[in-house]
């Protein structure tokens, strides 16, 4: 897909981190961008900077996502690109024993379900609604649209406490090929990135020595990933017409240890 001002893109989680970097990179090619996010303050500011539109969207809420697509399509036209970056995680053991009291407890199911709803169902909701919109467009150079999802290396090597996060991201990896097959007759491509450890606001709370220690675990280059490096791959997945149905690790060759 040729990236220029005739193309519109929706970026979920676009107010921050990997989504924000991708919105900036797409906008640098002239692509019109709509940022879907819960964070209105950061989203409005970035949308203004990029000449795009901000839509306050909760990807777990059907009506909210419908309203977001209605707003973005009215402002910048039907998107040919969807980048799914909205997501979050938690760290709770499946069952554990309190170190002091010995009391046994288990992973609260509502907290497990919340991560699945945001990362997996939220991603699928945006894909399904966006693909339906893309199908109203005429193909350009044999293509109607391109979709990029964000999983995590935790889909393959989840750490202690990551049962919910890994399940959600494993679901994103698992659905990539069948969705690409579902949409192939409509000339819409679907790919997924599995990021390693990236330097985004998600990690901002960690002290500098912790970030350095995490970076040092990466075989090469021995540092955290830059959001621009994620954006570069996401952009190529949109641009390259032969890239389809693929899950790609972007991780400096790291394989996560149990903890």
Catalytic residues: 165
**Maximum alpha-carbon separation in the chain:** 65
Residue 70 three-state SS: helix
Residue 196, CA atoms < 13 Å, CB-side half-sphere: 23
Among 30, 178, 201, 219, interactor with ligand NAD by CB under 6 A: 201
Judge whether 172 and 230 are in contact, CB under 8 Å: no
Tell the smallest beta-carbon distance from residue 84 to ligand NAD (Å).
Answer: 8
Tell the smallest beta-carbon distance from residue 106 to ligand NAD (Å).
Answer: 23
The piece of 71-79, 93-101, 177-185, 197-205 that touches ligand NAD (CB under 6 A) is 197-205
The piece of 26-34, 136-144, 201-209, 236-244 that touches ligand NAD (CB under 6 A) is 201-209
Closest to ligand NAD by CB, 241 vs 248, is: 248
Q: What would the x/- binding string for ligand NAD be over residues 40 to 79, using CB under 6 A?
A: -----------------xxxx-------------------
Question: Which residues does residue 37 pair with via DSSP β-bridges, in sequence order?
Answer: 56
Q: Is residue 200 at the binding interface for ligand NAD, with CB under 6 A as the rule?
A: yes
Residue 97 three-state SS: strand
Judge whether 186 and 131 are in contact, CB under 8 Å: yes
Judge whether 40 and 54 are in contact, CB under 8 Å: yes
3-state secondary structure 120-149: HHHHHHHHHHHHHHHCCCCCECCECEEEEE
Closest to ligand NAD by CB, 23 vs 118, is: 118
Among 8, 32, 79, 87, interactor with ligand NAD by CB under 6 A: 87
- Which residues would be at the binding site for ligand NAD (CB under 6 A)? 12-13, 15-19, 37-39, 57-60, 85-89, 118-119, 122, 150, 152, 195, 197-198, 200-203
């Amino acid at each position: 897909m040729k990236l220029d001002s005739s193309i519109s893109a929706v970026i979920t989680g676009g107010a921050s981190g990997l989504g924000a970097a991708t919105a900036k990179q797409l906008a640098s090619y002239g692509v019109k961008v709509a940022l879907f996010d819960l964070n209105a303050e950061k989203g409005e500011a970035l949308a203004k900077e990029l000449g795009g539109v901000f839509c306050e969207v909760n990807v777990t809420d059907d009506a909210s996502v419908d309203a977001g697509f209605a707003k973005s399509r009215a402002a910048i036209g039907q998107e040919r690109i969807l980048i799914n970056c909205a997501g979050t995680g938690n760290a709770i053991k499946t069952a554990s024993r309190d170190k002091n009291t010995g009391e046994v407890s288990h992973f609260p199911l509502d907290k497990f379900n919340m991560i699945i709803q945001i990362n997996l169902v939220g991603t699928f909701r945006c894909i399904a609604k966006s693909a339906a919109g893309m199908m109203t467009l005429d193909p350009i150079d044999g293509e109607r649209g391109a979709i990029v999802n964000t999983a995590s290396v935790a889909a393959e090597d989840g750490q202690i406490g990551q049962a919910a996060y890994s399940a959600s991201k494993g679901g994103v990896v698992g659905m990539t090929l069948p969705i690409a097959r579902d949409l192939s007759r409509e000339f819409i491509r679907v790919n997924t990135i599995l990021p390693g450890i990236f330097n985004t606001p998600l990690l901002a709370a960690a002290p500098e020595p912790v970030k350095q220690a995490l970076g040092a675990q990466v075989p090469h280059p021995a540092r955290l990933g830059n959001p621009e490096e994620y954006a570069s791959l996401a952009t190529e997945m949109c641009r390259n017409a032969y890239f389809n149905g693929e899950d790609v690790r972007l991780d400096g060759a790291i394989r996560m240890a149990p903890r």
